Amino acid sequence: MNVILSFIAAKSPGDVEEKILSLLQASSTEELNTVSSKIVTTVLADNTSSGGPTIAAANGAWLEKSKPVDPSFKDIIQNSYKAAFNLVDFRNKVDEVVEEVNSWVKEETKGLITDLIPENSVSPASNLIFANALFFNGKWDHEFDPSLTKDSDFHRFDGTTVRVPFMSAGYSLGYDLEAYQGFKVLNLPYRGGRGDYYRRRFSMQIYLPDEKDGLPAMLDRLSSCRGFLSGHGDIPGHSASIGELKIPKFKFEFGFTATEALEGLGLELPGDAIIHKSCIEVDEVGSKAAAAAAVISISGIYMPPKEKYDFVADHPFLFLVKESISGLVLFLGQVADPSMH
């Protein structure tokens, strides 16, 4: 989404550009373009060959071939966003263009995201589709023993329970726990590649409220503390030891029209429609996740832990996959019912 908004700012000088810069807290579109380039080429560079996570991050642009393309705009697409550049025929072959974009997204996300752009959502009057795809497949630094996975109750928002498989660890070495007032944060590191430790560290963080129905209140508190999810907030907390550790396996997907959500943040994008889809699967070995978005345009001192806490994620919680050194959040979601796929 960040890349998509940065691209819209680059192509929409004026009011829209200023609103996006304000929303993303950037000083200029040049800064956004530079950050987007660094994300694609450095932070999200694949590291499968050296033992780290498999990562694929790609951008693609499809432009109406009958419209002249400004050379500087083409330069931004190809050099700042490292995007595949395609001239296509929206006027006469719009369905084929949509099929081409969806096929590209499916390939880049290893088949996890299909049909990103629904039928009849692109008109022959469209001039541009810019798509961004992200695939992540990481193994836990300390994998969970499948023989310890047992069914247990998960408490849903409506007060009912559902039996789902919970992963357990017979030890807590390698897992970091931070305790805050009203919630705890578990850090599950992914296996890194050779030479990665000082450049990138990927992990999943699970934000678990103390109360069974505490997720909404926790989210309100986190959203009022700017920068907390990227590691720069100021909510006081302390390092803690882990007692019992139980995390549900889960797998789900989600899609929505992001344009409407952005309007709630005061950002109206006349002539632009943004579509977003994501999915994630978490098991004993690690996590596999993918996301894709498209815009369719018409126009530190170590202190030993003093307390020990159980971390039993048997009620709704927040999770995110992030790279710790840059603070970049790759995926974010909430688990309200692990039994739903």
Count Cβ atoms within 10 A of the Cβ of residue 230 and give its class: 0-12 exposed, 13-18 middle, 19 or more buried. Answer: middle
- Are 31 and 104 contained in the same domain? yes
- Are 268 and 148 contained in the same domain? no
- Are 80 and 227 contained in the same domain? no
Nearest CA to 321 out of 206, 226, 236, 225 is that of 206
CATH code, domain with 289: 3.30.497.10
Share of the chain above pLDDT 70, in %: 94
Quickly state the pLDDT bin for 257 (edges 50, 70, 90): very high
pLDDT of residue 13: 86
Quickly state the pLDDT bin for 188 (edges 50, 70, 90): very high
What CA–CA distance (Å, rounded) separates 258 from 18?
19
Query: What pTM was computed for the model?
Result: 0.89
Q: Would residue 340 count as lying in a domain?
A: no
- Are 16 and 52 contained in the same domain? yes
What CA–CA distance (Å, rounded) separates 138 from 140?
7
pLDDT of residue 341: 76
Q: Where is pLDDT greater, at 210 or 175?
A: 210
pLDDT of residue 18: 94
What CA–CA distance (Å, rounded) separates 104 from 267?
28
pLDDT of residue 198: 65
- The parent domain of residue 68 ranges over 2-138+252-297
**Is the pLDDT assigned to residue 16 strictly greater than 50?**
yes
> How does pLDDT run across 86-139, given as a tens digit for each residue?
999 999 999 999 999 999 999 999 999 999 999 889 999 999 999 999 999 999
pLDDT of residue 303: 38
Nearest CA to 285 out of 251, 334, 320, 329 is that of 251
**Is the pLDDT assigned to residue 331 strictly greater than 60?**
yes
Mean pLDDT of 13-42: 90
Number of compact structural domains in the chain: 2
- Copy the structure tokens of residue 93: 């072959």
What CA–CA distance (Å, rounded) separates 7 from 132?
10
> How does pLDDT run across 269-328, given as a tens digit for each residue?
988 999 999 999 999 999 999 999 999 998 633 334 457 888 999 999 999 999 988 888
- Are 73 and 172 contained in the same domain? no
Q: What is the mean pLDDT of the chain?
A: 90
Nearest CA to 190 out of 168, 175, 208, 169 is that of 175
Nearest CA to 199 out of 35, 42, 19, 40 is that of 42
Give the three-class secondary structure for 111.
Answer: coil
Residues whose CB falls within 8 Å of the CB of residue 76, separated by 6 or more in sequence, listed in order: 10, 33
Q: Would residue 290 count as lying in a domain?
A: yes
Would you list the DSSP string of 257-294? EHHHHHHHTT---TTEEEEEEEEEEE-SSEEEEEEEEE
- Copy the structure tokens of residue 28: 């200029």
